[in-house]
Amino acid sequence: MYDFEGQIRKKNIIYPEPNVYNEEHLLLKQFHINIATPLTIENDEINKFSVGISISDLSEEELVSIGQNKHHLKGLSQDVARHLLSRSSTLVYGGDLRKNGFTEYIIEEAKILQDRLKSKKIKIENYIAWPIFKNDTVELREWKAKYRNNVTMHNILPPDDVKISVGDAH
């Protein structure tokens, strides 16, 4: 790791997924090793951007016709979330909040990143339109409470020119 003049040389290693997390990075740094994946090699954070994603379930027939299954979509949603969030972008999603839905998969990935990167800068924003947010069940309120440190929930009211009754606008 030293050159002919006794200077420390840094090694650069590019490897496939998954990303190296903080503990591994600190250990490798002690040995003067820089490590990255093809997606992180540039080290250009996209933290100036909020990136919106849209993921929907496909029917079993549609999935089979393209040689996929429901686990591929789940994995894709987690991969997209991990890569965007690990590069400091804000992930914007308008997904539903059902148990074992894509929103939950994305938030679970954010929780893993927060823990592994020791960072509270992992940002997800979820938008829920009126009147859907008015139909929160006890179970859904508990779900929102569980993930309150991982995602910012926004309730979207209808535009001003849409007339709603006074009791509906919460």
Per-residue pLDDT of the chain (170 residues; tens, 9 = 90+): 445 555 666 677 766 666 777 788 788 888 888 777 756 666 555 666 788 887 778 888 988 898 888 888 888 888 888 878 877 788 888 876 777 778 888 888 888 888 887 877 778 888 888 777 788 888 888 888 888 888 888 888 888 887 766 555 45
pLDDT score of 46: 62
Q: Who contacts 94 (Cβ-Cβ below 8 Å, separation ≥6)?
A: 52, 54, 126, 127, 128, 129
Instruction: Map tokens 């059902």 to a residue.
Output: 98
Co-location of 12 and 80 in the same domain: no
Co-location of 105 and 76 in the same domain: yes
To the nearest 10°, report the CA torsion of 110, 139, 148, 17: 0
Co-location of 87 and 14 in the same domain: no
pLDDT score of 167: 57
Co-location of 3 and 33 in the same domain: yes
pLDDT score of 6: 56
Phi first, then psi: give them for residue 125, nearest 5 degrees.
-120, 130
Count the domains in the chain.
2
Instruction: Map tokens 């979207």 to a residue.
Output: 156
Show the domain range for 148. Answer: 46-168
pLDDT score of 73: 82
Co-location of 39 and 115 in the same domain: no
Co-location of 56 and 136 in the same domain: yes
pLDDT score of 157: 84
Query: What 3-state DSSP class applies to 47?
Result: coil
Q: Are 87 and 45 in contact (CB under 8 A)?
A: yes
Co-location of 35 and 55 in the same domain: no
Co-location of 54 and 68 in the same domain: yes
